[in-house]
Amino acid sequence: MQLDANTSMDLKIVSLISVGKHPTSGRARRAEQDGRAVELGLTLAEAGRGKQNLTVLHAGDSQQSALRSYAGMGLESVRVIQLRESADAVSPLTEYLRKHVPDIILTGVRAESGESSGMVPYLLAEKLGWPVVPRIANIVSIKEGVAEVLQALPRGQRRALTVRLPFIASVDNAAAEPRQSAFGPANRALMEQQQAGSETDTVRSEWSELPARKRPKRLKVVKAKTAADRFKAATAKPQGSGGKVLKDKTVTEQAQAIFDLLLEEGVLR
């Protein structure tokens, strides 16, 4: 991380956090991406003047114990805009961020619980009139009010972008893993409550939410136009019936078989 003298002094960062949900147990936890947003925020703040320049902000219930697992990353406090369960979080957040304007807002890409739409950074950006950079892996440098960020593309690829402060970025899973949450600091951190007027999310209250059904895997329906195609489809080895083993074949044949598979899978570039 490189910061130039001007920006480093007063770089104010807000990391937005939500309550995560463990994929197998469904228990509340620190969300993977939000944890990374805090991690990146901490790294930025530590490269600058210090941790106090990072505000970790949540809109929701301050009693939620999963919030403490963010604090366990070494935060003195977590700021919570106290909301009822069904309340819409975006407007109170916007209100807060208009009052306490930071230079960088970091969020996760999608929340692990609730609607999980990933719209929060976009809505905030729209309301604040700031640029939004989705799925960043890192902030490489900040010089003269311009940040160079690395955006995560699929399969380990990266794109470099520059953006002028202030901006909002959502943090991808490719970003640095959040540091371990330690019980001691988590237990001692302060939950700074703030009251805010908020409206109920009426649209959502009309939705029904159920545990996810298994999506049927699309069958490879071969709309065979010819008898031969149909024949081929009917006699093809069903998938998942164990692999092919090339035993007493020549080395050339074996290599060719591997090569063909690599080519077919499109991993040879």
Partner 1 sequence: MSDSDYSHILRRDPRGERIARNRLHPLHSTVAVQVAETLGPSGLLRKNPHAVGFIGPNGIKRIDRLKGNAIAITGRRNAQSSQEVLLPLHQVSEPDFTIVVVPDMVGGRLTAHDKDILGQAHQLARSMEAGVAGESTGAGAVMAVVFGVSKEESFDKAGVDRLLLLDGAEYEGYCPEQQVAALEQVEARLKPEYWLFPDSVHGGTDLGSRLAARLGERPATQAWQMNTETTICRGASGSTDITRDTPRLLMLAQECANPVDETRHEALSIEWAPVQAVLPELHDLGQVAVDPNAIPLAEAEFILAAGNGITNWEQFHATAKALGATEGASRVAVDDGNMPRFRQVGASGTWVTARVYLAVGISGAIQHMQGIGQCDKVVTINTDAGCDMVKRADLSTIGDAEKVLDELINLVDTYRQQALHNQNGEKEGAKNAA
Partner 2 sequence: MTFEWLHPFLIATALLLAAVGAVRRVNLWRAGQPESVDFVAGLMAMPGRYLHDLHDIVERDKYMSKTHAATGGGFVLSLLLVVLVHLFGVQNQILAWALLASLALMFVGAIFVFKRRLNPPSRLSKGPWMRLPKSLLAFSSAFFILTLPMAGVLPEGAGGLLLTIVLGVFIAMGLSEMLLGMTWGGPMKHAFAGALHLAFHRRPERFGGGRSTGLKPVALDQRVLGVQKPEDFKWNQLLGFDACVQCGKCEAVCPAFAAGQPLNPKKLIQDMVVGMAGGSDAHYAGSPYPGKEVGQANGGPLLTITEGLIDPDTLWSCTTCRACVEECPMMIEHVDAIVDMRRFLTMETGSTPNKGAEVLDNLIATDNPNGNAPASRTNWAADQNLPLLRDVKETDVVFWVSDGAFDMRSQRILRAFVSLLKAANVDFAVLGDEELDSGDVARRLGDDATFQSLAKRNIAALSQYKFKRIVTTDPHAYHCLRNEYTDFAGDVFKGVEVLHHTTFLNELVQAGKLKLSRFKGGKVTYHDPCYLGRYNGEYEAPRELLRSLGIEIAEMERSGFRSRCCGGGGGAPITDIPGERRIADMRMEDVQTTGAELIAVGCQQCTAMLEGVVEPRPQVKDIAEILASVLLDDEAANDVENQLEEAF
Cross-strand bridge partners of residue 136: 151, 171
Contact call for residue 114 and partner 2 (CB under 8 A): no
Amino acid occupying residue 265: E
Contact call for residue 74 and partner 2 (CB under 8 A): yes
Contact region with partner 2 (CB under 8 A), list: 21-29, 107-115, 208-216, 223-231: 21-29
Q: In the complex with partner 2, which residue's Cβ is closer, 162 or 187?
A: 187
Question: What is the distance between the alpha carbons of residues 44 and 79, in angstroms, rounded to a whole number?
Answer: 19
Kindly report each contact of residues 122-129 with a partner whose C-beta sits within 8 Å and lies 24 or more positions away, as own/partner: 123/90, 123/94, 124/90, 124/93, 124/94, 124/97, 124/168, 125/167, 125/168, 127/90, 127/94, 128/94, 128/97, 128/98, 128/166, 128/168
Q: Which of 91, 88, 94, 58 is nearest to 75 (CA)?
A: 58
Contact region with partner 2 (CB under 8 A), list: 18-26, 51-59, 96-104, 164-172: 18-26
Contact region with partner 1 (CB under 8 A), list: 6-14, 40-48, 117-125, 189-197: 117-125
User: Which residues within the stretch 156-195 sit at the binding site for partner 2 (CB under 8 A)?
Assistant: 179-185, 187
135 binds, among partner 1, partner 2, none (CB under 5 to 8 A by kind): partner 1
Question: What is the distance between the alpha carbons of residues 54 and 46, in angstroms, rounded to a whole number?
Answer: 9
Q: Is 60 exposed, middle or buried (0-12, 13-18, 19+ CB in 10 A)?
A: buried
Minimum CB separation from partner 1 for residue 263, in Å?
8
29 binds, among partner 2, partner 1, none (CB under 5 to 8 A by kind): partner 2
Contact call for residue 113 and partner 2 (CB under 8 A): no
206 binds, among partner 2, partner 1, none (CB under 5 to 8 A by kind): partner 1
27 binds, among partner 2, partner 1, none (CB under 5 to 8 A by kind): partner 2
User: Which residues within the stretch 176-215 sit at the binding site for partner 1 (CB under 8 A)?
Assistant: 203, 206-213, 215
Q: Which of 107, 31, 103, 17 is nearest to 59 (CA)?
A: 17
Contact region with partner 2 (CB under 8 A), list: 25-33, 84-92, 166-174, 250-258: 25-33
Q: In the complex with partner 1, which residue's Cβ is closer, 72 or 121?
A: 121
- Select from 1, 8, 22, 64 the one that contacts partner 2 (CB under 8 A): 22
- Select from 125, 128, 136, 186 the one that contacts partner 1 (CB under 8 A): 125
Q: Is 90 exposed, middle or buried (0-12, 13-18, 19+ CB in 10 A)?
A: middle
Q: Which two tokens mark 62? A: 């301050």
Q: Residues 105, 106, 112, 118: is their CA dihedral positive or negative?
A: positive
How many residues appear in the chain?
269
Rule CB under 8 A: which residues touch partner 2? 22, 24-25, 27, 29, 72-74, 179-185, 187
